[in-house]
């Protein structure tokens, strides 16, 4: 390329640079493959999710299908639990919290799933079922056994026994020196999961059936100078198994004389021999069930690693296409990956700039022990899986379309040799139809998707994918200016964000949150769970369920304001299922009408209390979900939705509280009890959060009845209850009280800030309505502090935005967008770190940045209410506001420069900006363009 002048050269560089930075406003990219799951890049079509590791020699794609869960349809409710409600309440009124919790734990929790016959299985394992000989004996021949590194703090799953539950024998030897003669010894194994029978030279020295540390005393008579044998039968029922040892790896497991310690002893940290005795332990009882991984696709190539150069992997969130590019031995390779919604398949396209350059093997596998690979046809493999001790089964298929070259299936792998291009279609489905029906055909989704793909070119499939995806993504644009850091890989940019002026990274994060919601919550799918739709573990954190005392709701905070309203549909459909089960729970536990939801649910729509009485009995989940229904009406002014869907659900939730609320004997107020302030302080009478949510529900129902001109009698009941409901209170430290009584601990740094629900996402407390109470809420947050888990940081961003302190909100954005490093923040792929990964922080953070730019919860549009100094320049298109309005706005040097209002349904709109107040009388479909002075 030739340039006529220096000016032309400079201009070309500027144009190229601008194009590059514009591109990086919507691209995550890295110059090395993913090493672990939280480095990999997520793609999803709402139903199928995949994580792209993008290795050069081995490309790993881990995938999920949203309805593969443990469990089956069953009853979750304890019948007649309501008979104990009065006693639990009386104990709480008497100040006997522990007694109330004990009674509630025994009589008021949900039913757990049916357990297998543990005693029978343990007896079979002790009797040696499946073994020849007795491995406890010194002379037992274990030379054909395999070896396993011991200990493994994260379970034997990480040391070679992937996803194994069951019975395993472990054997090793240790040498006893002569000066130990006549001394009793301490065998220190620390934690073993879950049960062990430990033998020294054939004699049982210890048996423990819990997760407590093991320190067994070994009598001197059992050991001899020289070599001794230790054999341990480990029985593992679920989750991680084996000898876990110490979390602090500087502490060793081993054996030493009584009165000394391991530094004077013999370490047992080494390779042990092992034998799997049985892989089918009895099912354990659980309150609710867990989301499951489906499988793994591995592509094996023949590159020389030393010849790879120019490597880059990326995710373009404007097209939902991941890409890997690199060069090797003079050939430029490219791989593209996307999850197509129109064709319901993960599509992988491999190409090169030279013919015959693509040679690899493709292999399907699954972490589920009950899985198998079969051949469907000459170009298709299928993977079948069955969830352990559950009703759900799945089938995925992998089809290869090859341009030139050869394709054959051998040894359960698709082998492709010297192709010009290859397209892979990865599809998955289960037998789940709904929470009561599992009679579907797992392969049905595969047949349907393959039929839709037949005869289409890769270009057509890609174009269809992008068009469908962008109908959501392109509704919103955001820029907070340019940044030098945009030239950096995303992992390096993440490291520098807290200490550099890179407001553009916050804009990317907003759009990434939108990307994740589009990818995990399309209309017709299940709602996004604790991890969206991405999970690689059979026992994921918190079951990767739906935690309804904030986390499920937080997932949908960006939906309205960031112009993704249609993606609420899975949540709203989930509410319909929960109304049915929640109605049964309301009757069984409270002898009440309406519906109730406690702090967790799962695929099967469980609504009963779970886990423990000190946090599992919380009654406001249904009312909080109804807030989302009302918000959807507030943003859309869809009267039909309000009449047919929202108000009937809201009314039933309010009906529950009409029956449930009880007069406090000390204050005379109506209060919520038994309940808790999630997940802090135990079982109580009258937590502030409950009253804020109930008050908002009642007010919303009254407003809805007014809009619909209906339900006058019920409206009067709610108005009367509202007068009696316990109010927000200011305590002795100037704080908003978390409980009915003034007992807040100002040193408490708990991650939940539940009593500030009325500040955000609610509007029970606002500057306009009660500035003094708002100040008390702010004082509570100051006491609680900034540092928190990932999702809690995201919540606090929204609080500080509502407090109109943009710089403090931005401080928390920087805390959320910092490398996780075993603490809160963000992983390399920008997934939120609780830790571990929870997607709600991504969604809450995106919503929080929007809340800094525009607020509409006080009946008017508050423009730039919490703009931080670190975000002096901005341009946003497509922001949504309550009242049925869409907003485009820009600012420069911290000052508004333009404001455009689009009125979707007409009506009056009030604008507030600094000291300006402007009234607009709008017509449906009209657009109003104003300058920075709102003129």
Model confidence at 23, in pLDDT bands (50, 70, 90)? low
Of the candidates 658, 769, 669, 640, the one whose C-alpha atom is nearest the C-alpha of residue 727 is 669
- Whether omega before 836 lies within 30 degrees of 0, making that bond cis, reads yes
> Tokens 């039933």 appear where?
652
Q: Are 563 and 878 in contact (CB under 8 A)?
A: yes
Q: What size, in residues, is the chain?
A: 935
427: nearest Cα among 392, 470, 376: 376
Q: What is the CA radius of gyration of the chain?
A: 30
pLDDT band at 19 (very low <50, low <70, confident <90, very high): very low
Can you name the residues that pair with 876 across neighbouring β-strands? 478, 889
Please compute, for residue 679, the number of CA atoms within 13 A of its CA located in the half-sphere on the CB side.
Answer: 18
Q: Which residue has the higher pLDDT, 671 or 248?
A: 671
Second-level CATH architecture of 118-278: Sandwich (2.60)
- List Cα–Cα distances, 611 to 109, 112, 407, 706, in angstroms: 8, 10, 52, 40
> Do residues 228 and 173 touch, judged by C-beta distance below 8 A?
yes
Give the burial string for 386-409 (b: 16+ CB within 10 Å, else e): bbbbbbbbbbbbbbbbbeebebeb
Exposed, middle or buried, 226 (CB in 10 Å: 0-12/13-18/19+)?
exposed
With b meaning 16 or more CB within 10 Å and e meaning fewer, what string describes 716-755? eebeebeeebbebbbbeeebbbbbbeeebeeeeebbbbbb
Separation between Cα atoms, residue 560 and residue 550, nearest integer Å: 17
Please check the confidence at residue 515 and state whether its pLDDT lies above 90.
yes
Q: For residue 823, which of 780, 793, 783 has the smallest C-alpha distance?
A: 793
Name residues whose C-beta falls within 8 Å of residue 270's C-beta, 6 or more positions apart in sequence.
149, 150, 172
Between 2 and 537, the more confident residue is: 537
Burial of residue 647 (number of CB atoms within 10 Å: 0-12, 13-18, 19+): buried
Tell me the C-alpha distance between 444 and 47, whole Å.
14
Closest C-alpha to 312, from 33, 636, 596: 33
Rounded-to-integer distance, Cα 812 and Cα 790, Å = 10
Give pLDDT tens digits for 620-639. 999 999 999 999 999 999 99
Convert the pLDDT of each residue in 430-443 to its tens digit: 999 999 999 999 99
User: How far apart are alpha carbons 700 and 692 in whole angstroms?
Assistant: 12
State the pLDDT at residue 489.
Answer: 97
Exposed / middle / buried, residue 553 (Cβ in 10 Å: 0-12, 13-18, 19+)? buried
C-beta separation of 309 from 319 below 8 A:
no
CATH number of 78-110+556-727: 1.50.10.10
Confidence bin at 641 (pLDDT 50/70/90): very high
Closest C-alpha to 390, from 76, 63, 110, 113: 113
Mean pLDDT, the chain, rounded, equals 95
Which residues are registered as beta bridge partners of 245?
A: 190, 191
Contacts of residue 417, Cβ cutoff 8 Å, sequence gap at least 6: 359, 405, 406, 407
**At 231, is the pLDDT very low, low, confident or very high (cuts 50, 70, 90)?**
very high
Report how far residue 455's alpha carbon sits from residue 358's, in angstroms, rounded to the nearest whole number: 23
d(CA 234, CA 206): 12
**656 φ, ψ (degrees, to nearest 5):** -60, -45
Structure tokens at 451: 């039929």
Confidence of residue 679 (pLDDT cuts 50, 70, 90): very high
- What pLDDT was estimated at residue 366? 96
DSSP state of 725: B
pLDDT score, position 303: 77
Whole-number pLDDT of residue 876: 98
* pLDDT at residue 6 in the model: 52
- Is the pLDDT reported for residue 162 higher than 90? no
- Residue 667 CA: distances (Å) to CA of 74, 96, 431, 664, 773: 41, 18, 53, 6, 20
Distance CA 673, CA 533 (A): 35
What's the whole-number mean pLDDT along residues 153-165? 90
Q: Residue 1 — pLDDT band, cuts 50, 70, 90?
A: very low
Find the DSSP H helices in 673-785. Answer: 688-708, 712-724, 771-784
Among left, alpha and beta (phi > 0; psi -120 to 50; other), residue 658 is alpha
806-829: average pLDDT:
96
When pLDDT is averaged across residues 533-550 and rounded to a whole number, the result is: 96
What per-residue confidence (pLDDT) applies to 25? 77
- Among residues 572, 569, 571, 575, the alpha carbon closest in space to that of 596 is found at 575
pLDDT at 13: 44
Task: With 0.75 as the threshold, say if the pTM is over it.
Answer: yes
Residues 6+ apart with CB under 8 A from 244: 151, 152, 153, 154, 155, 190, 191, 192, 193
> What is the percent of the chain where pLDDT is above 90?
94
For 132, other C-beta atoms within 10 Å of its C-beta total 8
* Helices and strands in the chain: count of H runs, count of E runs: 21, 44
Where would I find the H helices in 542-671?
551-555, 557-561, 569-590, 613-616, 621-636, 639-641, 647-660
DSSP reduced 3-state for 732: coil
Q: Report, as an integer, the average pLDDT of 1-15.
A: 47
C-alpha triplet 435, 438, 443: angle, nearest 5°: 130
Question: Residue 169 belongs to what H/E stretch?
Answer: strand 166-176
**Coil, strand or helix at 620:** coil
Per-residue pLDDT at 211: 83
Question: What confidence category does residue 5 fall into, taking pLDDT thresholds of 50, 70 and 90?
Answer: low
pLDDT value for 24: 58
Instruction: Choose among 680, 682, 553, 700: nearest CA to 633.
Output: 700
DSSP calls for 769-792: T-HHHHHHHHHHHHHH-S---HHH
Return the pLDDT at 159.
Answer: 92
Q: Is the pLDDT of residue 18 over 50?
A: no
Least Cα distance to 890 among 849, 851, 853 occurs for 853
Specify the pLDDT at position 404: 95
Cα–Cα nearest to 535, from 57, 44, 54: 44
Q: Give the domain 31-70+288-471 fold.
A: Beta-galactosidase; Chain A, domain 5 (2.70.98)
Which residues have C-beta within 8 Å of that of residue 826, sequence separation ≥ 6?
A: 494, 790, 816, 817, 818, 819, 820, 832, 833
Closest CA to 55 of 29, 27, 35, 38: 35
Rounded CA-CA distance 735/733 in Å is 5
């Amino acid at each position: 390329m030739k340039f006529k002048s220096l000016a032309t050269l400079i201009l070309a560089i500027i144009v190229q640079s601008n194009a590059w930075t514009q591109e990086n406003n919507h691209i995550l990219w890295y110059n090395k493959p993913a090493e672990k799951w939280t480095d990999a890049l997520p793609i999803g079509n709402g139903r199928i999710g995949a994580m792209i590791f993008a290795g050069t020699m081995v490309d790993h794609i881990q995938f999920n299908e949203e309805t593969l869960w443990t469990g089956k349809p069953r009853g979750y409710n304890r019948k007649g639990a309501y008979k104990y409600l009065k006693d639990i309440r009386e104990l709480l009124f008497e100040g006997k919290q522990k007694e109330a919790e004990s009674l509630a734990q025994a009589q008021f929790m949900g039913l757990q799933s049916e357990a297998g016959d543990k005693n029978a299985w343990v007896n079979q394992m002790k009797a040696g079922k499946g073994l020849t000989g007795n491995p406890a004996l010194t002379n037992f021949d274990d030379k054909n056994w395999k070896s396993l590194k011991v200990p493994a703090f994260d379970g034997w799953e990480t040391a070679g026994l992937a996803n194994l539950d069951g019975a395993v024998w472990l054997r090793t030897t240790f040498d006893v020196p002569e000066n130990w003669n006549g001394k009793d010894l301490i065998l220190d194994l620390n934690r073993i999961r879950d049960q062990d029978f430990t033998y020294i030279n054939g004699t049982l020295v210890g048996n423990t059936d819990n997760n407590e540390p093991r320190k067994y005393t070994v009598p001197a008579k059992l050991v001899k100078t020289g070599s001794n044998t230790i054999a341990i039968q480990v029985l593992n029922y679920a989750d991680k198994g084996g000898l876990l040892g110490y979390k602090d790896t500087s502490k060793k497991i081993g054996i030493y004389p009584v009165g000394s310690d391991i530094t004077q002893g013999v370490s047992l940290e080494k390779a042990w021999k092992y034998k799997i005795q049985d892989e089918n332990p009895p099912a354990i009882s659980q309150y609710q069930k867990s989301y499951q991984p489906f499988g793994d696709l591995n592509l094996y190539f023949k590159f020389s690693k030393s010849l790879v150069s120019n490597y880059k992997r990326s995710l373009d969130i404007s097209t939902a296409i991941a890409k890997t590019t690199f060069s090797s031995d003079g050939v430029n390779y490219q791989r593209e990956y996307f999850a197509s919604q129109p064709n319901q398949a993960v599509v992988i396209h491999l190409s090169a700039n030279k013919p015959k350059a693509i040679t690899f093997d493709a292999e399907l596998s699954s972490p589920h022990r009950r899985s198998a690979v079969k051949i469907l046809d000459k170009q298709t493999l299928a993977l079948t899986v069955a969830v352990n001790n559950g009703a759900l089964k799945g089938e995925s298929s992998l089809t290869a379309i090859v341009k030139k070259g050869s394709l054959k299936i051998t040894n359960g792998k698709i082998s492709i040799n010297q192709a010009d291009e290859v397209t892979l279609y990865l599809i998955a489905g289960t037998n789940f139809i709904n929470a009561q029906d599992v009679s579907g055909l797992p392969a049905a989704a595969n047949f349907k998707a393959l039929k839709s793909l037949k005869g289409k070119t890769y270009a057509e499939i890609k174009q269809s994918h992008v068009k469908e995806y962008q109908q959501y993504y392109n509704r919103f644009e955001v820029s907070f200016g340019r940044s030098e850091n945009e030239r950096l890989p995303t992992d390096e940019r993440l490291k520098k964000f807290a200490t550099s002026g890179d407001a553009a990274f916050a804009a990317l994060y907003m759009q990434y949150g939108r990307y994740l919601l589009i990818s995990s919550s399309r209309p017709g799918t299940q709602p996004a769970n604790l991890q969206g739709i991405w999970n690689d573990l059979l026992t994921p954190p918190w079951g990767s369920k739906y935690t309804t005392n904030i986390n499920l709701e937080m997932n949908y905070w960006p939906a309205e304001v960031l112009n993704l309203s249609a993606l609420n549909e899975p949540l709203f459909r989930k509410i319909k299922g929960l109304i049915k089960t929640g109605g049964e729970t309301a009757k069984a536990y409270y002898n009440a009408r309406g519906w109730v939801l406690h702090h967790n649910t799962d695929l099967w729509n469980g609504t009963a209390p779970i886990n423990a009485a000190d946090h599992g009995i919380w009654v406001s989940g249904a009312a909080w979900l109804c807030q989302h229904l009302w918000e959807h009406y507030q943003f859309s002014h869809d009267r039909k939705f309000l009449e047919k869907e929202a108000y009937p659900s809201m009314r039933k939730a309010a009906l529950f509280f009409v029956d449930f609320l009880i007069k406090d004997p000390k204050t005379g107020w109506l209060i919520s009890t038994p309940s808790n302030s999630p997940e802090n302080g135990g079982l109580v009478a009258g937590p502030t959060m409950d009253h804020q949510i109930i008050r908002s529900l009642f007010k919303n129902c009254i407003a809805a009845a007014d809009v619909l001109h209906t339900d006058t009698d019920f409206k009067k009941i709610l108005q009367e209850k509202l007068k009696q409901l316990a109010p927000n209170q200011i305590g002795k430290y100037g704080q908003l009280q978390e409980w009915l009584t003034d007992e807040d601990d100002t040193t408490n740094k708990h991650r939940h800030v539940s009593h500030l629900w009325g500040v955000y996402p609610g509007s029970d407390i606002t500057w306009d309505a009660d500035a003094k109470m708002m100040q008390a809420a702010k004082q509570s947050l100051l006491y609680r502090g900034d540092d928190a888990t990932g999702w809690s940081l995201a919540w606090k961003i929204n609080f500080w935005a509502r407090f109109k302190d943009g710089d403090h909100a931005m401080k928390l954005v920087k805390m959320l967008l910092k490398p996780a490093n075993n603490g809160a923040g963000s992983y390399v792929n920008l997934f939120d770190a609780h830790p571990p990964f929870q997607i709600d922080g991504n969604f809450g953070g995106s919503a929080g940045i929007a809340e800094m730019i525009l607020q509409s919860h006080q009946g008017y549009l508050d423009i730039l209410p919490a703009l931080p100094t670190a975000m002096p320049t901005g341009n946003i298109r497509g922001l949504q506001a309550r009242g049925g309005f869409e907003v485009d706005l820009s600012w420069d040097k911290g000052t508004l420069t333009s404001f455009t209002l689009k009125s979707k349904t007409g009506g009056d709109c009030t604008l507030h900006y600094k000291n300006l107040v402007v009234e607009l009388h709008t017509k449906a479909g009209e657009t109003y363009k104003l300058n920075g002075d709102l003129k």
